[in-house]
Amino acid sequence: MRVPAEVASTHPIPHRTMSLSLELLHVFSVFLFVGGLLGRTVAQAQARRATDIRDLDAYLRISSQFENKMVRPGSFAVLGLGLLTAWLKHWPFAPLTWVSASLLLFFSAFLLVPTVFIPRGRLFRAALDDARGQGQVTPRLTAAMGDRIVAVGHAYEWAVVAAITWLMIAKPF
Ligand code: HEM
């Protein structure tokens, strides 16, 4: 979108430079977010294979680092910088466009946190504390780590990332 000459001439940073910089930061934040998702997935897969509770604990600590230092801040940065870029580039949100469809998909994945990951995480934490107390990987812990509902939730997160990436690039509607 072109900026009126009087606005462009009075603003210290050209509009195009601003929107391109924000878009670049948005894509960098996607690296942080998706990098964290990948790291967390690998660490959790290793934790599931561990036969020693100390190894399992170590993998879970790595998984939490990915979650807390990359996935969580990354998801907020992707959202905030994406919204700012959309606003600066004057991409429409209505009627349903690739921007609003991406937002809806993104929020649908956020909804998994209170509905699936927090309640299932509580069951997992109880099984982990119990296994730590016994000093071994218990069948209860193995079952909690193989939770199908959590696995489906994580698969949905990846599907959303793939779908949004396509929407961002193809901008089909
Ligand atoms: C998993 C989440 C996301 C991923 C993987 C992602 C990925 C990308 C990629 C790869 C681009 C560059 C596309 C291109 O220039 O052709 C982009 C641009 C952009 N993204 Fe996202 N994005 C995500 C979430 C969001 C969200 C939630 C918004 C919110 C509105 C958003 C808004 C934008 C905007 C406005 C652009 C600039 C498009 C343009 O002007 O060409 N993104 N995103």
Minimal-distance CA residue to ligand 1 atom 38? 168
pLDDT surpasses 60 at 2: no
Query: What pLDDT, on the 0 to 100 scale, is given for residue 11?
Result: 77
Q: What are phi and psi of 114, to 5 degrees?
A: -70, -30
Q: Which ligand 1 atom is nearest residue 106's CA? A: 27
pLDDT surpasses 70 at 7: no
What is the distance in A from the centroid of ligand 1 to the CA of 5?
A: 28
Mean pLDDT of 36-63: 98
Query: What pLDDT, on the 0 to 100 scale, is given for residue 4?
Result: 57
Q: What whole-number distance in Å separates Cα of residue 123 and Cα of residue 144?
A: 7
Q: What whole-number distance in Å separates Cα of residue 67 and Cα of residue 153?
A: 15
- What's the chain's average pLDDT? 95
Q: Which ligand 1 atom is nearest residue 93's CA? A: 30
Q: Which ligand 1 atom is nearest residue 99's CA? A: 30
What is the distance in A from the centroid of ligand 1 to the CA of 130?
A: 43
Minimal-distance CA residue to ligand 1 atom 8? 168
Query: What pLDDT, on the 0 to 100 scale, is given for residue 75?
Result: 98
Query: What pLDDT, on the 0 to 100 scale, is given for residue 141?
Result: 98
Q: What whole-number distance in Å separates Cα of residue 141 and Cα of residue 153?
A: 19
Question: Which tokens belong to 18?
Answer: 């601003």
Q: What is the pLDDT of residues 77-96, one digit of tens each?
A: 999 999 999 999 999 999 99
pLDDT surpasses 80 at 12: yes
Q: What whole-number distance in Å separates Cα of residue 168 and Cα of residue 162?
A: 10
pLDDT: which is higher, 12 or 158? 158
- Helix extents (H) in 135-173: 139-145, 148-170
Q: What is the pLDDT of residues 109-157, one digit of tens each?
A: 999 999 999 999 999 999 999 999 999 999 999 999 999 999 999 999 9
Q: Where are the domains of the chain?
A: 1-91, 92-173
| % of the chain beyond a pLDDT of 90 | 92
- Report if pTM > 0.85: yes
Q: Helix, strand or coil for residue 4?
A: coil
Minimal-distance CA residue to ligand 1 atom 18? 168
Match 């990987």 to its residue by tokens.
137
